[in-house]
């Protein structure tokens, strides 16, 4: 499994679409170093091309994709039909786009402000990118190159790899609450992923449909690809448990995690290693395999718990 991680990354084509999220200095990455260390090819792709493909989607394809949404997701009753069709148009285009560029993963962020076609595309992308992620083409929002790699590594191990970050700590229950807006990994969710309409996106341009889920309850592993002065990058891992409990119903992925170090101990130990604020979460405990993968790639490894 560790050898598969190394060979997959060395042959992978990582699509980069758009630009960084302004002010997120911790996620900015030397893409040349990514190719040197992992062997991964960075393919620069254009939002304009995706918008053009969306405009070409025919009615039969849109109808079929909406039906697929109802199969793959728990579509809430208040989701407007026009928003489902808008998401279907972008989803159909994404499939063609990924195949055309032979993408194995994608990192994206683009506002599209001032260009109605691009803004429409980027505000209707979440369902399509969630489907791609479940089909082993992980998609990381906010142009998070390092986390696209982390998600691909977890996908190689069959653990999933859903885009996540801290958003709160429950000191009374000694839990860390983690999740993110944008695409979620619907193949590792607890139950069925809900689709909810949002009147405004969280920190993003526009409005539209979003996904809400919790990772499957049970053992989980967090993975971050961290920049390292000695080896270019290192893998940072932590093993814990996703536990049941109330999550915020805000159209985002949300989960409750317990770690052997406790909430305070985990957050301190994790951030001492200098990761960006995003990570990939997968089901099962796979840190031992990640350590072997790091050794094969020739990079560092640190496990906090």
Q: Residue 205: which pLDDT band, with cuts at 50, 70 and 90? A: low
Rounded Cα gap, residues 83 and 85, in angstroms: 5
Q: Give φ, ψ of 269 to 5 degrees.
A: -65, -40
Quote the mean pLDDT of the chain.
Answer: 93
**Residue 57 reports pLDDT greater than 90:** yes
- Whether 93 and 57 have beta carbons less than 8 Å apart is answered as yes
* Strand 278-283 relative to strand 41-45, pairing: unpaired
pLDDT of residue 213: 86
Place of tokens 């993110």: 180
* Strand 74-75 relative to strand 194-198, pairing: parallel
**Residue 202 reports pLDDT greater than 80:** no
Q: List, for residues 240-293, the tens digit of each pLDDT value.
A: 999 999 877 776 788 999 999 999 999 999 999 999 999 999 999 999 999 999
Give the mean pLDDT of 36-50. 97
**For 57-140, where are the alpha helices, taking DSSP H only?**
59-72, 81-100, 116-122, 126-134
Give the mean pLDDT of 72-78. 94
H or E stretch at 42? strand 41-45
Q: Is 183 exposed, middle or buried (0-12, 13-18, 19+ CB in 10 A)?
A: buried
Rounded Cα gap, residues 12 and 106, in angstroms: 11
Q: List, for residues 157-198, the tens digit of each pLDDT value.
A: 999 999 999 989 999 999 999 988 778 898 999 999 999 888
Q: List, for residues 122-135, the tens digit of each pLDDT value.
A: 889 999 999 999 99
> What is the distance in angstroms between the CA of the first residue and the CA of the last residue of the chain?
21
Buried-exposed string 11-46: b where 16+ CB fall within 10 A, e elsewhere: ebbbbbbbebbeeeeebebeeeebeebbebebbebe
**Residue 201 reports pLDDT greater than 70:** no
* Strand 139-140 relative to strand 253-258, pairing: unpaired
Buried-exposed string 93-130: b where 16+ CB fall within 10 A, e elsewhere: bbbbbbeebebbbbbbbbbbeeeeebbbbbbbbbbbbb
Q: Residue 21: which pLDDT band, with cuts at 50, 70 and 90? A: confident
Q: Residue 136: which pLDDT band, with cuts at 50, 70 and 90? A: very high
Rounded Cα gap, residues 6 and 9, in angstroms: 5
- Whether 161 and 154 have beta carbons less than 8 Å apart is answered as yes
At 14, list the tokens.
């990582």
The pTM is what? 0.95
pLDDT of residue 250: 74
């Amino acid at each position: 499994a560790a050898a598969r991680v190394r060979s997959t990354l060395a042959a992978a084509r990582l699509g980069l679409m758009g630009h960084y999220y302004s002010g997120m200095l911790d996620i900015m990455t030397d893409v040349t170093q990514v190719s040197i260390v992992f062997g991964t090819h960075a393919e620069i792709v254009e939002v304009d091309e995706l918008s053009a493909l969306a405009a070409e989607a025919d009615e039969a394809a849109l109808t079929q994709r909406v039906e697929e949404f109802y199969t793959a997701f728990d579509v809430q009753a208040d989701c407007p039909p026009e928003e489902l069709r808008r998401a279907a148009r972008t989803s159909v285009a994404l499939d063609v786009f990924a195949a055309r560029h032979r993408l194995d993963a994608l990192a994206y962020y683009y506002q599209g402000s001032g260009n109605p076609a691009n803004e429409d595309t980027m505000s209707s992308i979440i369902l399509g990118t969630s489907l791609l992620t479940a089909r082993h083409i992980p998609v990381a929002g906010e142009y998070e190159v390092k986390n696209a790699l982390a998600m691909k590594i977890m996908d190689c191990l069959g653990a999933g790899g859903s885009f996540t970050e801290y958003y709160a700590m429950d000191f009374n229950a000694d839990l860390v609450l983690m999740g993110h807006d944008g695409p979620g990994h619907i193949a590792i969710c607890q139950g069925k992923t809900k689709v909810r309409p949002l009147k405004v996106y969280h920190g993003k341009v526009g409005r539209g449909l979003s996904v809400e889920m919790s990772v499957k309850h049970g053992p989980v592993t967090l993975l971050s690809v961290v920049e390292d002065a000695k080896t270019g990058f290192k893998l940072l891992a932590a093993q814990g448990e996703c536990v049941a409990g109330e999550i915020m119903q805000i159209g985002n992925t949300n989960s409750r995690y317990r770690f052997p170090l406790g909430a305070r101990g985990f957050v301190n130990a994790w951030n001492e290693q200098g990761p960006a604020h995003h990570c990939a979460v997968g089901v099962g405990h796979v840190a031992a395999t990640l350590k072997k993968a790091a050794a094969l790639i020739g990079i560092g490894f640190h496990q906090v718990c």
